[in-house]
Structure 1
């Protein structure tokens, strides 16, 4: 473009050596410090659902009161032994001896004096085909290891012919932690291999994919290091799912930003001999959209700080840190690597300086068009070939028909959102793979009350305990209730434990504690008990699940408008327009709704999922809208740049032609990295993987390729309102023989 050659960067010789060397060394140090934390970050993460609720939640307050009664923080495990036939007296005698062995397992809660054991049981079922023990596990220990030792003890000591399960909250938590075991290694490996293969196919270079992956891994190492210390200092709550999302997000985002910079660098290498001059041109063309895109995602993620769920609130800064280092790596580490390797970065197909590359025009390219449209095509599609030329011609010929048809398709896809079931799922449905605890919960429901081992906890005034107890016992869905009289084996003669004038009532549920019917029991108790005791609290596993779902749905309606407002303001500043940002916001929201509609149909009718976690719509929205705007920023900043020179119509065509290949490549890479989350056998991550992967592809292939360019072309200069139309098309025109800097990475 005119005037660039006079400003090409040509640093002194010592700087050419020192600058890339220093930058590479700094990032190597970050990788050296951050790499070892990969194996330790699980030590500072938690998967306790209760810890993610706000302090004001009723179940949280009830849990604090519970700790006063039991004097410790414990997670109950339910040990279940089942038989196909009725248990014999001999078997029951052997099973009774397990109590002492289970109590000797490290991590099992010590009994409170004068009790001699903290384990309740053995408790036989009514059909005499099952026996259960309630084993309290200290939450301060490693739940996974304690449950594993319990299972080993049972395997070695249980009479032959019996099926053995360790389930309940502790067993489910242990299996959940095991499911997250793939995050540290396998997940990252799958994502990196997928990215490498895609880049290898797209760029047909062995070196470039490695440089991009080094950049992404360095960014991840730095991110992990910062997040690890923030979690260890209790500044944030780090969960297994946040840990997995961070890895995928950084790899995907850093690769995306890197590809945009690579495209500009490759374009410049076709224009100038000096790799440093090419680097300068790449910076001038890439820094603004990369910084704008990264800033938009960071601000969108930080909107999660306004969430009431601690898990959502913590994901905000965690993701923002990841995007920040992705941004820094793409603008410092990658350029240093590219300039160090020069044209060799693209080996074996190294770009050469070309004075011009003529595109063969076909006679029917502009047949039947007005002279003005033909001129726009001549300027806008000069040097653009292949699929991007064909798409550009379609938009130039029939812009309105293009965006109307695209809009109808997206609206049709959006109708599926009415079938989205995002009201939460039971914990037994969260784990998709084989799970001893999940199998145990199913077996437990066959022989005992489904809520056995996970009672509803009611904290009431001592003065009203009899009335509250009677009301609880009379509630449908409750099989039995009793006032807490201390740990260990029940003693009918014992007095209720009283703390600060209050008692604790344990109520056993008929159905599984985290089922929808159990949550309805909690709702009923919360509606009726305050009439007896205005200060009564209803907590427990069922209440935690209910409060989590309610809070997640509240967060959705709070965070969505805030994210849209933040993105809209950033786009106004970037594009210096109101219409264009509004257009982009509407299209990404439409893309999100269409994605959720298709996802609902796939989840219900293809995968047969039981529903979705209540946080799925919010996470899907934040990632899709923020990342979807990324690609539109890449497109529209280039469109605006070209429109200032060629006019809006030609600028739209040229901007699409110049960015089409790199944005599509970036979209495929990001979709592949998020799809890698699907290898973790957890419902939430499998659903998020599909939503983001499909949504990104929909956005890059349909919305950014057809809808946005066609709408912008149809609006013409009005898309830049309130900027004056005379401002556009005043630069030097680009001849039809202008060199094509970047042909969708396919050359």
Structure 2
């Protein structure tokens, strides 16, 4: 392997200008010829959950009423007067608005749904052929609809507003754009400042950032090209690709730049230093990227589409980052030479000081069992807190920003339609024959649902807008008036039906399919709004209550649709996938570590250390946000992100530390090798950890005040805490302690493990007894 990296190093240094030109050419050609990644993102929610997920089956069952919810969005439009009944002039203005709304691009249907019981407002449903996850298209439709309001010529006192979850999400998205830009700017500034503090050399900091920059540009286009040829790309690929490549790229930059500076200080020339550094850390960088790529490819086993569609695109991005780290980065360092470290002096020194980490390691190897025993106890204690973890949703903000059009629309909806919900749970029932043939079934179903005590409001075919109808009245109106979808907003003259009853029957079109076999109840839950964790957690009880109502009323099928039910299934699928994917990734990474370290022993405790670090970080997050912070749960995506950044990227540091210990073990006794290696790699590992943790802390601080702020804070601080624990304690204290205890057995069955100094010859059984004794409180030094 070293011969390969020797040839690679000589080639890259010799043809450094060609390497740089090649990367520039590849980036330009990719930008000019390949589609952007964002244009190929998969926004079809039907791909996110398996087809047999209960919420997916419910959505399919509700299609005659709600439409194909996986490919279209429903936007609420409300027209309201300022405290007076609607006039004929108001109705004419509403008719003009309906016509204008129908002409908006992507709008497929506009339906006047309800007139409020006080006759002061009208609710209009606008269906648009836009996937619910496609925020950009939703924003475009919302903006176009709002632009029609003035053109409709509303009368004095009549106003149009948008309402409901789509309008709310778009309003919050606009509000959070400034927050997102601030996060990006602060993250970039933080990385630059930290790199300047670490290197004390502006050019070294710039070179370290340029490399992942090139990797990002080319990866975006390569992934876009794959998307154009059928590879599905998850909608969160963009943000994760940025964080992943910047994190990994910064790591590789630190690995190589620190080693180049070390070589320069040992007396080598600039080009020789780059060659030497690449030979020494090339294998570490390759193996580090390999562990991340293997972990990402294991996501292809996921049933949850968001995770599955992340695997291949992110693995491609990491492959490009690896290639850039092995070619572009050393080429740039060879081009600039010693100037990379200006104004500090990377000049030969007689003997480098070990520094703070060297002194820590020197004390550590004297009592490794004590360090390991205390560390294992602490991390096991923190990991046990993860038993209290439970999922929360990651829905949009419950309310629109103050002063927005959506906030005004939601207020009108709550005031004038008290029995309606802007974002209801949809309780779907299917009957073997049209419901108007036996409307008494609806009474049976509604009684069971009301007795469950789960619902704050319940609107259905017999009570669509607050005006109740008896089953016989509903059947008579159907015979007399026919399909409610065809009825005009204003009651035609000559009908003997009271106005309130006419409006109520007309509103049943929202609750009964044209064929009459599918009905829905719109419910708001006592547990909370659809975006809340409490509503998500109530989903099993809601499904059980609906199943009981189906049995009581003779329905042949039933299902709960809506945001809370979908989030419950997403969370369940996510947790199920993690349970199955993490072991696969652990085994794959373990095999790679065995090949890189030429050992069957070291990968065992390295994998255990990463899993223990992962569980401890999840435990700390659980303690901080659930037990102390009072949150109802942690967003389902947090364990997944911890899996990516701790289980995968954590092995970067393992590999860097272990390969350096092995390198030093050829020249020193093993314990001295540990001291030397930690003294050299400790600053690299902790610097990389601080940069990555700092980036997540910025997300938590800057993004925590926006929509979904509590969950964003949990993600940011949870990842930052986990990374800091991993880099400051696990990689630099616990792993070296284990190495010192096992001695040359670390490398068994490699040749290095068969030749040991007496002081390093510690048998595994003896090491295990020592750790156990320490944990029991009778360790060395007592």
Cα drift, residue 200 of structure 1: 0.6
Counterparts of residues 213-252 of structure 1 (less than 5 Å):
213-239=209-235, 241-252=236-247
Counterpart check, 1:404 vs 2:360: no
Q: Conserved in 1, the CA contact under 8 Å of 2:425 and 2:560?
A: no
Shift of 1:277: 2.2
TM-score, normalization by structure 1: 0.80
User: Does the residue aligned with 1:428 lie in a helix, a strand or coil?
Assistant: coil
Larger mean CA deviation between 72-81 and 709-718 belongs to 72-81
2:428 and 2:561 in contact (8 A); partners too: yes
Q: How does 1:667-686 map to 2 (within 5 A)?
A: 667-678=689-700, 679-680=702-703, 681=706, 683=708, 684-686=711-713
1:256 shift after superposition:
0.7
1:193 is aligned, of 189, 193, 203, to 189
**Distance change >3 Å, CA 458–CA 713, structure 1 → 2:** same
Helix, strand or coil for the counterpart of 2:383? helix
Q: Does 1:708 align with 2:735?
A: yes
Question: Following TM superposition, by how much is the alpha carbon of 1:286 offset from its aligned partner in structure 2, in angstroms?
Answer: 0.8
Which stretch has the larger CA shift, 324-333 or 484-493?
Answer: 484-493
1:252 positional shift: 1.3
Aligned position for 2:74: 76
Structure 2 partner of 1:373: none
Matched residue, 1:656: 678
Measure the CA separation in 2 of the matches of 1:90 and 1:294: 66
TM score, norm. by length of structure 2? 0.77
| Alpha carbons 2:80, 2:159 under 8 Å: kept | yes
Within 2, Cα distance between the matches of 1:551 and 1:346?
A: 49
Q: Say which of 307, 312, 316 aligns to 2:302.
A: 307
Structure-to-structure mapping, 1:179-578, within 5 angstroms: 181=177, 187-239=183-235, 241-354=236-349, 356-357=350-351, 383-428=352-397, 437=406, 444=413, 448-449=418-419, 451-452=421-422, 454=424, 456=426, 458=428, 460-463=430-433, 469=442, 472-474=445-447, 475-476=449-450, 477=455, 479-482=458-461, 486=485, 491=506, 497=513, 503-511=517-525, 512-515=529-532, 516-517=534-535, 519=539, 520-526=541-547, 529=550, 532-533=554-555, 536-578=558-600
Q: Distance in 2 between matches of 1:139 and 1:8?
A: 53
2:126 alignment partner, one of 132, 135, 158: 135
Quote the residue 1:375 is aligned against. Answer: none
Matched with 1:695 is: 722
Residues 527/411 of structure 1: CA separation in 2 closer, same or farther (3 Å cut): farther
Question: What's the offset of the Cα at 1:509?
Answer: 0.7
Q: Is the 8 A contact 1:10 1:277 kept in 2?
A: no
More displaced, 203-212 or 175-184? Answer: 175-184
Q: CA deviation at 1:574?
A: 1.8
Equivalence for 1:104: 100
Contact conserved, 1:452 with 1:508, CA < 8 A, in 2?
no
Report the CA distance between 1:567 and its aligned residue.
1.8
Contact kept? 1:416, 1:597, Cα under 8 Å: yes
CA contact (8 A) 2:107 2:126 kept: no
Indicate the larger mover: 580-589 or 159-168: 159-168
8 Å contact from structure 1 (residues 634, 659) kept in 2: yes
CA distance in 2, matches of 1:497, 1:693: 50
Q: Report the RMSD for the aligned CA atoms in angstroms.
A: 4.1
DSSP 3-state at the match of 2:315: helix
Please, which runs of 5 or more residues in structure 2 have no aligned partner?
Answer: 463-482, 490-504, 761-782
From 3, 7, 25, the counterpart of 1:29: 25
Give 1:659 shift.
0.6
After the TM superposition, which of the residue ranges 33-42 and 673-682 deviates more from structure 2? 33-42
Residue matched to 1:376: none
Name the stretch that deviates more: 637-646 or 158-167.
158-167
Aligned-pair CA distance for 1:199: 0.8
Greater shift in the superposed pair: 585-594 or 659-668: 585-594
CA distance in structure 2 between the aligned counterparts of 1:640 and 1:454, rounded to whole angstroms: 61
SS of corresponding position for 1:54: coil
Residue of structure 2 aligned with 1:124, choices 101, 116, 120: 116
Distance 1:436 1:676, change over 3 A: farther
Instruction: Supply the distance in 2 between the matched residues of 1:497 and 1:429 (Cα, whole angstroms).
Output: 29
Shift, 1:696, TM fit = 1.1
**Corresponding position of 2:50:** 54
Q: What whole-Å deviation, never above 9, does each CA across 1:236-284 have from its counterpart, x for those lacking one?
A: 1331x33112111111111111111112222222334433322221121
- Deviation, 1:392, is 1.3
